[in-house]
Amino acid sequence: MDRTKVAQLFAQMDELGGSEVTVAGWVRSIRDMKNFGFVVLNDGSCFKDVQVVMNREKVANYDQVTTLTVGSALVVTGTLALTPDRPQPFELQAAEVVIEGAARPDYPMQKKRQSREFLRTQQHLRSRTNLFRAVFRVRSVAAFAIHQFFQGRGFVYVNTPIITASDAEGAGEMFRVTTIDPANPPLTEDGKVDYSRDFFGKATNLTVSGQLQGENFAMSFGDVYTFGPTFRAENSNTRRHAAEFWMVEPEMAFCDLAGEMDVSEEMLKYVITYVMDRCPDEIDMLNSFVDKGLRERLSHVASSDFARVSYTDAVSILQEAQAAGATFEYPVEWGVDLQTEHERYLTERHFRRPTFVTDYPAAIKAFYMRQNDDGKTVAAADCLVPGIGEIIGGSQREERLDVLERRIAELGMDVGQYKYYLDLRRYGSCRHAGFGLGFERLVMYLTGVDNIRDVIPHPRTVGNADF
Amino acid sequence: MDRTKVAQLFAQMDELGGSEVTVAGWVRSIRDMKNFGFVVLNDGSCFKDVQVVMNREKVANYDQVTTLTVGSALVVTGTLALTPDRPQPFELQAAEVVIEGAARPDYPMQKKRQSREFLRTQQHLRSRTNLFRAVFRVRSVAAFAIHQFFQGRGFVYVNTPIITASDAEGAGEMFRVTTIDPANPPLTEDGKVDYSRDFFGKATNLTVSGQLQGENFAMSFGDVYTFGPTFRAENSNTRRHAAEFWMVEPEMAFCDLAGEMDVSEEMLKYVITYVMDRCPDEIDMLNSFVDKGLRERLSHVASSDFARVSYTDAVSILQEAQAAGATFEYPVEWGVDLQTEHERYLTERHFRRPTFVTDYPAAIKAFYMRQNDDGKTVAAADCLVPGIGEIIGGSQREERLDVLERRIAELGMDVGQYKYYLDLRRYGSCRHAGFGLGFERLVMYLTGVDNIRDVIPHPRTVGNADF
């Protein structure tokens, strides 16, 4: 079909004005004014619609077309007429309208405003609404911005495995991946389930992080990143948790914590700027109808120098704030992890810009983080942003074989499971660092949408795997 | 650390020649010539190495450095000296060499040539060899080329779910995803495993394809693509099968089979050209040591007009070839699926260029493919390429509600499972088409590597989920 996309009409209206074009899309509204009819059509190529004008005398099936309802698919051929004195810059004066597929009148996506809860039951159709068209285009553009950022800096994209026999962090509840029939599992002689007869010859799970395998590749390519799905079988039914979500995990050789923070900061600014630049109509819509502070907050983050403060100093700041009258639900004392309320206080009220909190107590961070000389803290850095709290968690990794082995033993972890990881410290170890960005958290931040279920095409949460 | 990457040395040698730079990387070889030592260093930023020259009188720890073995990590500061009359265009004359991390002498990646079978047992280290550095950079660059191709054409990237309660094709063996303990599963009253008490409230699997969900989004954005992992629990231990692999699945509204073939052809040419352009050293290496016909084959595909032939005509061509003396292991007759030997005959011997075979018998293709008017065939198109056979499978999708419902019933499938899919035909249905590209097959094609285990960072196959 030789058609012109609506995005192209807007991009090239000066050249195309006056000429005949064919547009294919879906009806957003239809009005019959007796001798003239108006159809607002959207083809998904951009946020904007095209207005089709039908002259009853010129469009042979005028009466049939005007009985159509919202959601119907049309192919319209006509003249693109520039209309500089109207709100929309042009209209399509129809010569021929072909009905590609009518929508039945019980179409659930009617023009009236639907609740997000209802729309979650219509995941196959909700991307036809303004809100979800904005969200999912921003998601796509942000994903590309991430690839572009890293590829432009020479990072190698690595697809770490989804199915794994290990647990990257020694924590986190995992989904089992199996071909064993639980109605009739093979058993060992002592009556246990015999995973040696499972598909992979052992028990396997869905990955919770690609970091450890990412490190394998950082030790050959220097700079690498992953960008793929990760999983948590946590029974938490909150606005911020999904069982399946995408993570970006860069890993950089010959890089310390300061270098890691530099790259995180640059990346966030790059993605925000890219999305604001490429999705102005979507950001407009989100700023008007979802979160009135969105554009300002994004511009602010893109143009700020991020603050950097140690965990120890951050705790002092929070304690001083308490002494001065601030109230927190959770206690603030050295050794306890920061809660979202604390993170937001630091970034929104104290520093008033994105803030890295560094050098957390070792006890509340993962085993692979590099121990500082004080013997108490590790070289971790969480990036906090206004409006959300933590968005990125990073650290310098422990590159010293003896220190790492001691830490694994201290934590009672199975050192045998980490043979490959330790090998990286045996053969040409070097300082290195990396971070993890929860991609859905970023999309929530970019769109102002406050429920993770509304930034994932088909979200998976406890009790929910429809579509 | 203020270092310069080796890729940058090569890109900017004219500016950097004569100045002091710091390079960090891993030792590929080391030679002690008594008063002078030579270290070949690679930092992973590009395929090329940098030659470091150490003058015993100038490098304080010369004796220590020269006892190091392959794989050790060094940070070298020195003067970049241009050497226009030597094979390498410059060398680094060391002033200071810092040993970042020595490699133990039992380092498994010694300079001698290792078998690929052995290297599969060293997946955490094998990307330090020339072969795998070439393969995994090509993989990364090809992945980016795919994103760039689709984003540049206005396609929206959609992350379809990995965990799913449905089977996209009504076929294919799947992995179960569960938190049920098979040692002690919850049971229903009649003694069956009670999946309503599993994490998602029902039985779930790993996806075999994102196509059906992709169609949801094509019906709002027009053009979309997925690029993510898919899974098959097939017990096949071949060079071409993995249990976990990445797929690219574009889906296009208002597009028929011819349009689908146009996009597939353009995409393949784009990716090949992009990789040849960005990875000349890697392609050189692969062409010299893996597959001597590689570059010629890729150039040929990138510059050919792909042939298009119907399945019916293809069968006649093969039967005529048989009559003229060609021998095939598998029978050739109308109604039987083409085998790799037939596909390769068509593309390598008959057409001598990439070839689309179209309009296959309905009985050997999936339920969602659009039925042709002849009542026997469907609007499918497989893209065959010399050296490999099928690389892309595409089709126009059945957009007619009644025809699709009839087909689902005919095949004895559960129509209730396809409610959402059928809804797309109820509310503004339109002609549409899409295809699936197995990304690892493409990487094998781009590199000449003939085993899928060698193009996946950490491959998952029957009995194998290490690393």
Q: Look up the CATH number of the domain holding residue A304.
A: 3.30.930.10
Same-domain pairing of A215 and A69: no
**pLDDT value at A172 more than 90:** no
> Can you name the residues that pair with B248 across neighbouring β-strands?
B227, B437
- Could you give phi then psi for residue B405, rounded to 5 degrees? -60, -45
For the segment A21-34, the average pLDDT, to the nearest whole number, is 96
- Does residue B311 lie within any of the structural domains? yes
Shared domain check, B214 and B77: no
Contact predicate A193/A186, CB 8 Å:
yes
* A134, A94: one domain: no
Say if residue B390's pLDDT is above 60: yes
Any domain includes A242 = no
pLDDT higher than threshold 70 for residue B168: no
Please name the residue of chain B whose CA is at the shortest distance from the CA of residue A201: B463
**Would you state the pLDDT for residue B172?**
62
Within a domain: residue A182? no
Contact assignment for A45 to B104 by CB distance below 8 Å: no
Do B158 and A140 lie within an 8 Å CB cutoff?
Answer: yes
- What number is the average pLDDT over the span B212-216? 97
Percent of chain A with pLDDT over 90: 93
pLDDT score for A134: 98
Same structural domain for residues A49 and A144?
Answer: no
What pLDDT score was predicted for residue B58? 97
In tens, the pLDDT along B71-102 reads 999 999 999 999 999 999 999 999 999 999 99
Nearest-CA distance from B318 to chain A in Å? Answer: 33
Q: Are residues B82 and B160 in the same domain?
A: no
Q: How far away is chain A from the Cα of B5, in angstroms, using its nearest Cα?
A: 9
pLDDT digits (tens, 9 = 90+) for A298-325: 999 999 999 999 999 999 999 999 999 9
For residue B427, CA distances in Å to A74, A100, A125, B420 come to 12, 11, 9, 11
One domain for residues B19 and B60: yes
Q: Hey, are the CB atoms on A199 and B175 less than 8 Å from each other?
A: yes
Nearest CA of chain A to the CA of B349: how many Å?
A: 33
Average pLDDT for A357-369: 97
* pLDDT score of B167 more than 90: no
What integer is the mean pLDDT of A252-277?
98
CB A432 within 8 A of CB A218: yes
DSSP string for residues in B78-98: EEEEE-TTSSSSEEEEEEEEE
Q: Are residues B81 and B136 both part of a single domain? A: no
Q: Which residue in B1, B110, B156 has the most chain A C-beta atoms within 10 A of its own C-beta, making it the best mutation to test that interface?
A: B156
Angle between helices B401-410 and B419-426 (to 10 degrees): 160
Does a structural domain hold residue A174? no
Q: What pLDDT does residue B448 have? A: 97
Distance from CA of B50 to the nearest CA of A (A): 15
Kindly state the average pLDDT of the residues A219-230: 98
Task: Please give the pLDDT value at position A418.
Answer: 93
- Could you write out the DSSP letters of every residue in A83-125? -TTSSSSEEEEEEEEEEEEPBPTT-S--SS---HHHHHTTTTT
C-alpha span between B268 and B281 (Å, rounded): 21
Structural element, H or E, at residue B343: helix B340-344
- In angstroms, the CA A357 to CA B191 distance is 53
Task: Look at A428 and B179 and tell me if their CB atoms are within 8 Å.
Answer: no
Asked if residue A309 and residue A410 are part of one domain, the reply reads yes
State whether A128 and B458 contact (CB < 8 Å): no
Would you say residue A203 lies in a domain?
A: no
Residues of B in contact with A460 (CB under 8 A): 161, 163, 200
Q: Which helix (H) or strand (E) holds B266?
A: helix B257-278
Q: Does residue B234 fall inside a structural domain?
A: no
Mean pLDDT rounded to a whole number for chain B: 96
Structural domains of chain B, count: 2
> How far is Cα A358 from Cα A310, in angstroms, rounded to an integer?
5
The closest CB to that of A222, out of B45, B182, B465, belongs to: B45
The answer on A159 and A13 residing in a single domain is no
- If pLDDT is split at 50, 70 and 90, which confidence band does A1 have? confident
> What is the average per-residue pLDDT within B169-190?
86
- Reported as half-sphere exposure (CB side, CA atoms, 13 A), residue A231 has a value of 24
Q: Are residues A82 and A137 in the same domain?
A: no
Sign of torsion, CA A327 A331 A334 A339? negative
Residue A11 domain-assigned?
Answer: yes
How many Cα atoms sit within 13 Å of A442 on the Cβ side? Answer: 27
Smallest CA-to-CA distance from B204 within B166, B159, B169, B245 is with: B166
**Tokens linked to B163:** 């965990």
Is 0.90 topped by the overall pTM?
yes
Range B373-379 average pLDDT: 97
Q: What is the pLDDT of residue B451?
A: 96
CATH number for the domain including B25? 2.40.50.140
In a domain, A194, yes or no: no
CA atoms of A155 and B141, how far apart (whole Å)? 10
Q: Kindly report, residue by residue over B218-274, the tens digit of the pLDDT.
A: 999 999 999 999 999 999 899 999 999 999 999 999 999 999 999 999 999 999 999
pLDDT (tens digit per residue) in B28-53:
999 999 999 999 999 999 999 999 99
Is it the case that residue B169 has pLDDT exceeding 60? Answer: no
Whether the predicted pLDDT of A113 surpasses 90: no
Domain span at B360: 128-164+208-225+247-454
Tokens 């003249």 locate to: A79
The residue with greater pLDDT, B55 or B388, is B55
B10 lies in the same domain as B141: no
Q: Which residue of B has its CA nearest to A218?
A: B44
- B284 vs A111, which has greater pLDDT? B284
Provide the 8-state DSSP code for B347.
Answer: I
CB atoms B73 and A429 under 8 Å: yes
Higher-pLDDT residue of A426, A113:
A426
Identify whether residues B92 and B220 lie together within a single domain: no
Give the per-residue pLDDT at A231.
96
A466 contacts in chain B (CB < 8 Å): 165
What's the whole-number mean pLDDT along residues B344-370? 97
Question: Is residue B146 within 8 Å of A227, Cβ to Cβ?
Answer: no
Band the pLDDT of B414: cuts 50, 70, 90: confident
